[in-house]
Copies of this chain bind each other. A is one copy, B any other.
Amino acid sequence: MSDPLDITFAALADPTRRAILSMLLEDDMAVTDVAEPFEMSLAAISKHLGILTKAKLISQEKRGRVKWCKIEPDALKAASVWMQSFGQFEELDMDAFERFLEGELEA
């Protein structure tokens, strides 16, 4: 009943979840390590990771007692395609990207 795009965009709407994705861009991480920089409970981070998993933005694999989180960039494709359908902006613009990152990292 609910469009996968609903799930994708809703998952991306939370700053904690976007920060998690940025962290996972650099390397796969265990749940506890993902939680470490945030000022909230492990259970809360676990929930966020569940939402990202449902949105297929990440995958989780349990090895021993450690659950590893890995980014899954493909899920962004559908959302990206949807946005491209607006077609009024060009492809990735590095200057804009850097300006954006500056803003994002200040917060």
Q: Give the B-binding residues of A (Cβ under 8 A).
A: 2-3, 5-6, 9-10, 12-15, 18, 21-22, 25-26, 71, 73-74, 76-93, 96-98, 100-105, 107
14 inter-chain pairs at a CB distance below 8 angstroms, sorted by A residue, are A2-B15, A22-B85, A22-B101, A25-B85, A25-B89, A26-B98, A26-B101, A71-B86, A74-B89, A81-B93, A81-B96, A81-B97, A85-B92, A85-B97
Complex CA gap A12/B77 in Å reads: 15
Q: Give the copy number.
A: 2
Q: Is the CB of A13 within 8 A of B15?
A: no
A91 to chain B, nearest CB (A): 8
Q: Is the CB of B89 within 8 A of A80?
A: yes
Complex CA gap A9/B10 in Å reads: 7
With A3-B15, A18-B5 in contact, is A100–B81 under 8 Å at CB? yes
